[in-house]
Amino acid sequence: MEAGSTKQITVVEHLLLHQKKSPAATGKFTQLLYDLILAAKLITRSVNKAGLLDVLGGTGEVNVQGENVQKLDEYANQVLIHRLERSGALCLMASEENPEPISIPSHLPKGDYILVFDPLDGSSNIDVNINVGTIFSIMRRKSASTSEVNPNELLQPGYQQVAAGYFLYGPSTMMVYSTGQGVHGFTLDPSVGEFLLSHPNMTIPNSGAIYSVNEGNHAYWDAPTRRIVESFKAHDNPQKKPYSTRYVGSLVADFHRTLQYGGVFMYPLDHKNPEAPRGKLRLLCEASPLAFLAEQAGGAASSGTGRILEIVPEKLHQRVPLYIGAKADVAFAEAQLRQG
Protein backbone atom coordinates (compact mmCIF):
# COMPACT_ATOMS: atom_id res chain seq x y z
CA MET A 1 0.00 0.00 0.00
CA GLU A 2 1.51 3.32 -1.09
CA ALA A 3 2.25 5.77 1.73
CA GLY A 4 -0.46 8.39 1.81
CA SER A 5 -2.76 6.07 -0.14
CA THR A 6 -6.41 6.99 0.24
CA LYS A 7 -7.02 3.30 0.77
CA GLN A 8 -5.50 3.49 4.26
CA ILE A 9 -8.10 1.88 6.54
CA THR A 10 -8.00 2.34 10.31
CA VAL A 11 -9.12 -0.30 12.81
CA VAL A 12 -12.30 1.58 13.63
CA GLU A 13 -13.15 2.09 9.94
CA HIS A 14 -12.52 -1.63 9.35
CA LEU A 15 -14.71 -2.57 12.30
CA LEU A 16 -17.53 -0.32 11.09
CA LEU A 17 -17.22 -1.86 7.63
CA HIS A 18 -17.67 -5.27 9.26
CA GLN A 19 -20.18 -4.02 11.81
CA LYS A 20 -23.11 -4.82 9.55
CA LYS A 21 -21.97 -8.45 9.55
CA SER A 22 -20.79 -8.70 13.14
CA PRO A 23 -23.33 -8.26 15.94
CA ALA A 24 -20.32 -8.01 18.23
CA ALA A 25 -19.49 -4.51 17.00
CA THR A 26 -21.61 -1.95 18.79
CA GLY A 27 -20.78 1.59 19.88
CA LYS A 28 -19.42 0.34 23.19
CA PHE A 29 -17.39 -2.33 21.47
CA THR A 30 -15.85 0.28 19.19
CA GLN A 31 -14.99 2.40 22.26
CA LEU A 32 -13.45 -0.66 23.90
CA LEU A 33 -11.21 -1.28 20.85
CA TYR A 34 -10.34 2.43 20.73
CA ASP A 35 -9.18 2.38 24.36
CA LEU A 36 -7.22 -0.85 23.82
CA ILE A 37 -5.48 0.85 20.90
CA LEU A 38 -4.71 3.96 22.96
CA ALA A 39 -3.22 1.78 25.72
CA ALA A 40 -1.11 -0.06 23.13
CA LYS A 41 0.21 3.24 21.75
CA LEU A 42 1.25 4.29 25.27
CA ILE A 43 2.90 0.90 25.86
CA THR A 44 4.72 0.87 22.53
CA ARG A 45 6.11 4.35 23.28
CA SER A 46 7.72 3.01 26.46
CA VAL A 47 8.77 -0.33 24.98
CA ASN A 48 10.53 1.48 22.12
CA LYS A 49 12.51 3.63 24.56
CA ALA A 50 12.98 0.95 27.25
CA GLY A 51 16.76 1.20 27.06
CA LEU A 52 16.64 4.94 27.71
CA LEU A 53 14.06 5.04 30.49
CA ASP A 54 14.31 3.58 33.95
CA VAL A 55 11.94 0.79 32.90
CA LEU A 56 14.37 -2.03 32.26
CA GLY A 57 14.79 -4.83 34.72
CA GLY A 58 12.55 -6.09 37.45
CA THR A 59 10.55 -4.42 40.19
CA GLY A 60 11.73 -6.93 42.74
CA GLU A 61 8.17 -8.27 43.02
CA VAL A 62 6.91 -11.74 42.06
CA ASN A 63 3.47 -12.04 40.43
CA VAL A 64 0.72 -14.61 40.86
CA GLN A 65 2.44 -16.69 38.19
CA GLY A 66 5.58 -16.90 40.31
CA GLU A 67 7.41 -14.75 37.75
CA ASN A 68 9.63 -11.74 38.44
CA VAL A 69 7.61 -8.63 37.56
CA GLN A 70 9.43 -6.45 35.04
CA LYS A 71 9.04 -2.68 35.36
CA LEU A 72 7.44 -2.55 31.90
CA ASP A 73 5.05 -5.35 32.92
CA GLU A 74 3.78 -3.19 35.72
CA TYR A 75 3.62 -0.09 33.55
CA ALA A 76 1.70 -1.91 30.79
CA ASN A 77 -0.66 -3.43 33.34
CA GLN A 78 -1.45 -0.08 34.93
CA VAL A 79 -1.95 1.64 31.55
CA LEU A 80 -4.42 -1.03 30.42
CA ILE A 81 -6.37 -1.01 33.68
CA HIS A 82 -6.51 2.82 33.81
CA ARG A 83 -7.63 3.21 30.19
CA LEU A 84 -10.03 0.29 29.98
CA GLU A 85 -11.85 0.84 33.28
CA ARG A 86 -12.89 4.23 31.79
CA SER A 87 -14.07 2.82 28.45
CA GLY A 88 -17.69 2.49 29.64
CA ALA A 89 -17.79 -0.87 27.86
CA LEU A 90 -16.71 -3.22 30.64
CA CYS A 91 -18.29 -4.75 33.72
CA LEU A 92 -15.25 -6.84 34.69
CA MET A 93 -11.57 -7.32 33.85
CA ALA A 94 -8.79 -9.80 34.63
CA SER A 95 -5.06 -9.48 34.09
CA GLU A 96 -2.31 -12.11 34.02
CA GLU A 97 -0.51 -9.85 36.53
CA ASN A 98 -3.35 -9.63 39.05
CA PRO A 99 -4.25 -12.58 41.30
CA GLU A 100 -7.91 -11.54 41.52
CA PRO A 101 -10.47 -10.21 39.02
CA ILE A 102 -10.53 -6.41 38.56
CA SER A 103 -13.91 -4.77 39.14
CA ILE A 104 -14.88 -1.45 37.56
CA PRO A 105 -14.93 1.36 40.17
CA SER A 106 -18.49 2.27 41.10
CA HIS A 107 -18.14 5.90 39.91
CA LEU A 108 -17.19 4.86 36.36
CA PRO A 109 -19.61 3.92 33.53
CA LYS A 110 -20.04 0.22 32.81
CA GLY A 111 -21.01 -1.98 29.89
CA ASP A 112 -21.67 -5.62 29.16
CA TYR A 113 -18.19 -6.71 28.01
CA ILE A 114 -15.57 -8.60 30.02
CA LEU A 115 -11.87 -8.17 29.17
CA VAL A 116 -9.02 -10.55 30.01
CA PHE A 117 -5.48 -9.59 29.08
CA ASP A 118 -1.82 -10.40 29.40
CA PRO A 119 -0.36 -6.89 29.53
CA LEU A 120 3.16 -7.66 28.36
CA ASP A 121 3.71 -11.27 27.39
CA GLY A 122 7.31 -12.32 26.99
CA SER A 123 8.48 -9.44 29.16
CA SER A 124 11.56 -11.35 30.32
CA ASN A 125 12.86 -10.65 26.79
CA ILE A 126 12.61 -6.86 27.09
CA ASP A 127 16.13 -6.39 28.45
CA VAL A 128 17.55 -8.10 25.35
CA ASN A 129 15.37 -6.15 22.92
CA ILE A 130 13.27 -9.10 21.73
CA ASN A 131 9.61 -8.69 20.65
CA VAL A 132 6.97 -8.65 23.38
CA GLY A 133 3.21 -8.38 23.12
CA THR A 134 -0.15 -7.65 24.71
CA ILE A 135 -2.83 -10.35 24.35
CA PHE A 136 -6.54 -9.64 24.87
CA SER A 137 -9.76 -11.63 25.03
CA ILE A 138 -13.23 -10.05 25.00
CA MET A 139 -16.34 -11.81 26.26
CA ARG A 140 -19.90 -10.67 26.93
CA ARG A 141 -21.52 -11.01 30.35
CA LYS A 142 -24.23 -13.68 30.49
CA SER A 143 -26.26 -12.16 33.32
CA ALA A 144 -28.58 -9.15 33.04
CA SER A 145 -26.88 -5.76 32.94
CA THR A 146 -28.90 -4.64 35.94
CA SER A 147 -27.22 -7.10 38.29
CA GLU A 148 -23.77 -7.01 39.85
CA VAL A 149 -21.58 -9.14 37.59
CA ASN A 150 -20.33 -12.36 39.18
CA PRO A 151 -16.53 -12.86 38.77
CA ASN A 152 -17.28 -16.43 37.70
CA GLU A 153 -18.50 -14.95 34.41
CA LEU A 154 -14.81 -14.79 33.53
CA LEU A 155 -14.80 -18.60 33.35
CA GLN A 156 -16.37 -18.92 29.91
CA PRO A 157 -15.09 -21.43 27.34
CA GLY A 158 -13.12 -19.81 24.53
CA TYR A 159 -15.73 -20.40 21.83
CA GLN A 160 -17.87 -17.79 23.65
CA GLN A 161 -15.32 -15.01 23.07
CA VAL A 162 -16.75 -12.02 21.19
CA ALA A 163 -13.30 -10.98 19.99
CA ALA A 164 -9.62 -11.65 20.62
CA GLY A 165 -6.30 -10.30 19.48
CA TYR A 166 -2.84 -9.07 20.30
CA PHE A 167 -0.45 -6.15 19.90
CA LEU A 168 3.07 -7.10 18.86
CA TYR A 169 5.83 -4.65 19.78
CA GLY A 170 8.62 -5.37 17.33
CA PRO A 171 10.38 -3.78 14.33
CA SER A 172 6.92 -2.33 13.76
CA THR A 173 3.99 -2.37 16.17
CA MET A 174 1.10 -4.46 14.93
CA MET A 175 -2.44 -5.18 16.04
CA VAL A 176 -3.97 -8.49 14.97
CA TYR A 177 -7.55 -9.23 15.96
CA SER A 178 -10.78 -10.99 15.05
CA THR A 179 -14.45 -10.46 15.92
CA GLY A 180 -15.31 -13.79 14.33
CA GLN A 181 -15.16 -12.35 10.81
CA GLY A 182 -11.66 -13.55 9.92
CA VAL A 183 -8.30 -12.30 11.21
CA HIS A 184 -6.98 -8.89 10.23
CA GLY A 185 -3.60 -7.25 10.85
CA PHE A 186 -2.91 -3.55 11.26
CA THR A 187 0.46 -1.81 11.40
CA LEU A 188 1.03 1.34 13.44
CA ASP A 189 2.10 4.29 11.31
CA PRO A 190 3.92 6.39 13.93
CA SER A 191 3.80 9.45 11.67
CA VAL A 192 0.01 9.61 11.98
CA GLY A 193 -0.44 7.56 15.17
CA GLU A 194 -2.93 5.20 13.56
CA PHE A 195 -3.02 1.43 13.11
CA LEU A 196 -3.63 0.96 9.37
CA LEU A 197 -4.87 -2.24 7.67
CA SER A 198 -1.80 -4.04 6.36
CA HIS A 199 -2.73 -7.76 6.54
CA PRO A 200 -6.41 -8.31 5.64
CA ASN A 201 -7.90 -11.81 6.00
CA MET A 202 -4.85 -13.56 7.48
CA THR A 203 -4.86 -17.34 7.08
CA ILE A 204 -2.44 -20.00 8.36
CA PRO A 205 -0.69 -21.70 5.39
CA ASN A 206 -1.05 -25.49 5.38
CA SER A 207 2.33 -25.86 3.72
CA GLY A 208 4.49 -24.31 6.46
CA ALA A 209 7.34 -26.49 7.74
CA ILE A 210 8.37 -24.87 11.02
CA TYR A 211 8.06 -26.36 14.49
CA SER A 212 8.45 -24.13 17.52
CA VAL A 213 9.08 -25.54 21.00
CA ASN A 214 11.53 -25.07 23.88
CA GLU A 215 13.62 -28.23 23.48
CA GLY A 216 15.33 -27.41 26.75
CA ASN A 217 12.30 -29.08 28.35
CA HIS A 218 13.06 -32.43 26.66
CA ALA A 219 14.02 -34.08 29.96
CA TYR A 220 10.55 -33.23 31.38
CA TRP A 221 8.49 -34.57 28.46
CA ASP A 222 6.78 -37.96 28.23
CA ALA A 223 7.56 -40.40 25.40
CA PRO A 224 4.74 -39.35 23.02
CA THR A 225 5.78 -35.68 23.31
CA ARG A 226 9.39 -36.54 22.54
CA ARG A 227 8.17 -38.61 19.57
CA ILE A 228 6.17 -35.65 18.23
CA VAL A 229 9.18 -33.32 18.31
CA GLU A 230 11.45 -35.95 16.77
CA SER A 231 8.90 -36.50 13.96
CA PHE A 232 8.98 -32.82 13.00
CA LYS A 233 12.77 -33.18 12.64
CA ALA A 234 12.41 -36.20 10.39
CA HIS A 235 10.10 -37.21 7.51
CA ASP A 236 7.23 -38.69 9.51
CA ASN A 237 5.11 -35.54 9.64
CA PRO A 238 2.42 -33.80 7.55
CA GLN A 239 4.94 -32.19 5.18
CA LYS A 240 6.94 -35.45 4.83
CA LYS A 241 10.22 -33.55 5.30
CA PRO A 242 12.32 -32.18 8.17
CA TYR A 243 10.89 -28.91 9.53
CA SER A 244 12.96 -25.88 10.45
CA THR A 245 12.96 -24.93 14.11
CA ARG A 246 12.24 -21.43 15.35
CA TYR A 247 11.70 -20.40 18.98
CA VAL A 248 11.66 -16.79 20.20
CA GLY A 249 10.45 -17.51 23.72
CA SER A 250 7.86 -14.75 23.37
CA LEU A 251 4.44 -16.30 22.70
CA VAL A 252 3.05 -13.42 20.65
CA ALA A 253 6.12 -13.41 18.37
CA ASP A 254 6.09 -17.20 17.98
CA PHE A 255 2.36 -17.21 17.29
CA HIS A 256 2.54 -14.30 14.84
CA ARG A 257 5.20 -16.15 12.81
CA THR A 258 3.08 -19.34 12.89
CA LEU A 259 0.02 -17.36 11.74
CA GLN A 260 1.94 -16.07 8.72
CA TYR A 261 4.29 -18.95 7.89
CA GLY A 262 2.33 -21.97 9.14
CA GLY A 263 3.74 -24.96 10.98
CA VAL A 264 3.12 -25.44 14.67
CA PHE A 265 3.93 -23.84 18.04
CA MET A 266 3.96 -26.20 21.02
CA TYR A 267 4.20 -25.77 24.75
CA PRO A 268 3.60 -29.39 25.83
CA LEU A 269 2.69 -30.78 29.23
CA ASP A 270 5.89 -31.03 31.26
CA HIS A 271 6.76 -33.05 34.35
CA LYS A 272 9.06 -30.51 35.99
CA ASN A 273 6.96 -31.18 39.06
CA PRO A 274 6.47 -34.97 38.86
CA GLU A 275 3.58 -34.65 41.32
CA ALA A 276 1.74 -32.14 39.12
CA PRO A 277 2.54 -32.28 35.40
CA ARG A 278 1.25 -29.12 33.74
CA GLY A 279 1.30 -26.79 30.79
CA LYS A 280 2.95 -23.41 31.34
CA LEU A 281 0.70 -21.13 29.30
CA ARG A 282 -2.41 -19.51 30.76
CA LEU A 283 -5.77 -20.58 29.33
CA LEU A 284 -7.77 -17.36 29.66
CA CYS A 285 -5.19 -14.71 28.71
CA GLU A 286 -2.91 -16.64 26.33
CA ALA A 287 -4.16 -19.96 24.88
CA SER A 288 -7.83 -19.08 24.46
CA PRO A 289 -7.49 -15.73 22.61
CA LEU A 290 -4.78 -17.14 20.32
CA ALA A 291 -6.88 -20.26 19.72
CA PHE A 292 -9.77 -18.00 18.63
CA LEU A 293 -7.46 -16.33 16.12
CA ALA A 294 -5.93 -19.62 14.95
CA GLU A 295 -9.35 -21.13 14.17
CA GLN A 296 -10.54 -17.92 12.51
CA ALA A 297 -7.41 -18.12 10.33
CA GLY A 298 -8.22 -21.70 9.26
CA GLY A 299 -5.86 -23.34 11.75
CA ALA A 300 -6.35 -25.24 14.99
CA ALA A 301 -5.46 -25.05 18.68
CA SER A 302 -5.41 -28.00 21.05
CA SER A 303 -4.37 -28.89 24.59
CA GLY A 304 -3.15 -32.12 23.02
CA THR A 305 -6.31 -33.93 24.07
CA GLY A 306 -8.98 -31.52 22.88
CA ARG A 307 -9.92 -28.19 21.35
CA ILE A 308 -8.68 -25.25 23.46
CA LEU A 309 -11.89 -23.29 22.78
CA GLU A 310 -14.04 -26.01 24.38
CA ILE A 311 -12.19 -26.07 27.72
CA VAL A 312 -14.43 -24.70 30.47
CA PRO A 313 -12.07 -22.83 32.82
CA GLU A 314 -12.15 -23.87 36.48
CA LYS A 315 -9.95 -21.04 37.77
CA LEU A 316 -8.76 -17.67 36.58
CA HIS A 317 -5.05 -18.48 36.14
CA GLN A 318 -5.52 -22.05 34.90
CA ARG A 319 -2.64 -23.32 32.72
CA VAL A 320 -2.87 -25.63 29.74
CA PRO A 321 -0.55 -27.39 27.31
CA LEU A 322 -0.79 -25.77 23.86
CA TYR A 323 -0.40 -27.04 20.29
CA ILE A 324 -1.40 -24.28 17.84
CA GLY A 325 -0.95 -23.64 14.13
CA ALA A 326 -1.76 -25.44 10.88
CA LYS A 327 -4.62 -27.94 11.20
CA ALA A 328 -2.61 -30.88 9.86
CA ASP A 329 0.30 -30.29 12.26
CA VAL A 330 -1.95 -29.90 15.30
CA ALA A 331 -3.92 -33.02 14.30
CA PHE A 332 -0.65 -34.92 13.86
CA ALA A 333 0.45 -34.03 17.40
CA GLU A 334 -2.97 -34.99 18.83
CA ALA A 335 -2.81 -38.36 17.03
CA GLN A 336 0.65 -39.09 18.48
CA LEU A 337 -0.57 -38.27 21.99
CA ARG A 338 -3.67 -40.44 21.55
CA GLN A 339 -1.43 -43.29 20.39
CA GLY A 340 0.47 -42.99 23.69
Give the span between the Cα atoms of 148 and 166, in whole angstroms: 29
- Which region, judged by CB under 6 A, interacts with ligand P6P, from 105-113, 159-167, 233-241, 249-257? 249-257
How many chain residues are in contact with ligand P6P, going by CB under 6 A? 9
> Which CB, 96 or 295, lies closer to ligand P6P?
96
> Which CB, 90 or 126, lies closer to ligand P6P?
126
- Which region, judged by CB under 6 A, interacts with ligand P6P, from 84-92, 176-184, 243-251, 287-295? 243-251
Examine residue 251 and tell whether it contacts ligand P6P (CB under 6 A): yes
Name the nearest CA neighbour of 135 among 308, 280, 286, 249: 286
The HSE-up count of residue 130 (CA atoms within 13 Å, CB side) is 15
Query: How far apart are CB 195 and ligand P6P at their closest, in Å?
Result: 22
Name the nearest CA neighbour of 28 among 138, 136, 178: 138
What phi, psi does 93 have (nearest 5°)?
-135, 160
> Which CB, 198 or 250, lies closer to ligand P6P?
250
CB atoms within 10 A of CB 223: 9
Query: How far apart are CB 180 and ligand P6P at their closest, in Å?
Result: 25
Query: How far apart are CB 249 and ligand P6P at their closest, in Å?
Result: 5
Using CB under 6 A as the criterion, what x/- string covers residues 112-131 for binding ligand P6P? ---------xx-x-------
**Residues 200 to 229: which contact ligand P6P by CB under 6 A?**
214
Give the Cα-Cα-Cα angle 202, 204, 207 (nearest 5 degrees): 135
Query: How far apart are CB 5 and ligand P6P at their closest, in Å?
Result: 34
Examine residue 249 and tell whether it contacts ligand P6P (CB under 6 A): yes
Among 44, 63, 178, 250, binds ligand P6P (CB under 6 A): 250
Query: How far apart are CB 270 and ligand P6P at their closest, in Å?
Result: 9
β partners of residue 12: none
What does the binding site for ligand P6P look like in residue numbers (CB under 6 A)? 121-122, 124, 214, 249-251, 254, 280
